[in-house]
Amino acid sequence: MFNLFKSDKEDRPADVKGVRYELLQFIKQELQKAEGGEGGNIKGLNLYIACPSSECAVFEAAVYADEPEVFKDEVQRIADDYAVNLPESWQMDVVLNQEFPPEAVRSNKLDAAFFIKTSKNFIKQSASAYIRALSGETEKPEYNVTSEGEKIHIGRDKKAQGDDGFFRTNHIAFPSDSANDANKYVSRQHARIEWNNDAGRFMIFADEGGVPPRNKIKIRSEKSEDVIKLTSTHIGHQLQEGDQIILGESAVLEFSYQPATHE
């Protein structure tokens, strides 16, 4: 049973501004422990929130769920006030209605918990996602990928020989003997998907056959509709629900945390 405010005192705020204030006070209390320039080792901050469905809209508004950078900026100002010196690449993750990790510090006033990630202090996260072809033909209609698995290679044909003469296995394979024209433009070593535990996200990277001028990879976010192009094998993209991945000219994969519904 969720309890928006753990205290029964009637003066506890229950509106958006009040909830936001209490959340930021909670974060401030924990960040003060790293006061005085000790934030350089921090990789990210995780805020966990539990709320009943009737109260979730209040919490989502309080943390600017539609504009996560705004809430991150609020936290950055707190860090600056206490000279915590967070690195430029730090990440802010707000997680709604997931079980609080035992490593996280719980709030005394809200159903919330907070965790500071460093290279030595982290929460082992797990996830499962699904990849399916919207355009082009793959060997299977849908692929399940997990954080416990190895790298997921994507390319033309199950076994693909690289320029070095060695073969690799494409776990998501576009058969070259398919009648679908989109398959022709998928490279034999086009891309790979990896789990990044620091970010708590699946990431897609271009492989040698998926970067210009040989080929290309583009990703479009379902939420923002921004188009991201991968031009390096070393710089990846964090996949989000509904992302569409274009390989070559017209092969399209969809990333989702939900399996397809087959009627």
Residue 23's pLDDT is what? Answer: 95
Closest CA to 247 of 234, 232, 233, 229: 229
**Confidence grade of residue 251 (pLDDT, cut at 50, 70, 90):** very high
Distance separating alpha carbons of residues 113 and 90, to the nearest angstrom: 18
Which of 4-13, 24-33, 56-65, 220-229 is predicted with the least confidence, judged by mean pLDDT? 4-13
Structure tokens at 69: 């950078």
Are 128 and 145 spatial neighbours (Cβ–Cβ below 8 Å)? yes
Which of 11-15, 68-72, 107-111 is predicted with the least confidence, judged by mean pLDDT? 11-15
Greater pLDDT, 76 or 54: 76
Distance separating alpha carbons of residues 188 and 247, to the nearest angstrom: 11
Residue 38's pLDDT is what? Answer: 58
**Confidence grade of residue 121 (pLDDT, cut at 50, 70, 90):** low
The CATH number that domain 128-256 falls under is 2.60.200.20
Residue 102's pLDDT is what? Answer: 85
Burial 196-214 (b: 16+ CB within 10 A, else e): eeebbbbebbbbebbbeee
**Confidence grade of residue 5 (pLDDT, cut at 50, 70, 90):** very low
Q: Say if residue 243's pLDDT is above 70.
A: yes
Are 125 and 152 spatial neighbours (Cβ–Cβ below 8 Å)? no
Q: Where are the alpha helices (DSSP H) in the chain?
A: 16-31, 56-62, 68-81
Same fold, 16-118 and 128-256: no
Q: What is the mean pLDDT of residues 81-105?
A: 87
Q: What is the mean pLDDT of residues 112-131?
A: 80
Are 174 and 138 spatial neighbours (Cβ–Cβ below 8 Å)? yes
What backbone torsions phi and psi does residue 129 show, to the nearest 5 degrees?
-140, 175
Are 221 and 242 spatial neighbours (Cβ–Cβ below 8 Å)? yes
Residue 36's pLDDT is what? Answer: 57
Query: Does 3.30.499 match the CATH number of domain 16-118?
Result: no
Residue 219's pLDDT is what? Answer: 93
Which of 7-16, 74-83, 218-227, 230-239 is predicted with the least confidence, judged by mean pLDDT? 7-16
Q: Say if residue 163's pLDDT is above 80.
A: no
- Can you give the residue ranges of every domain in the chain? 16-118, 128-256
Instruction: State the virtual CA torsion across 191, 153, 150, 128 in degrees, nearest 10.
Output: 80
Name 40's Cβ contacts closer than 8 Å, sequence gap at least 6: 85, 87
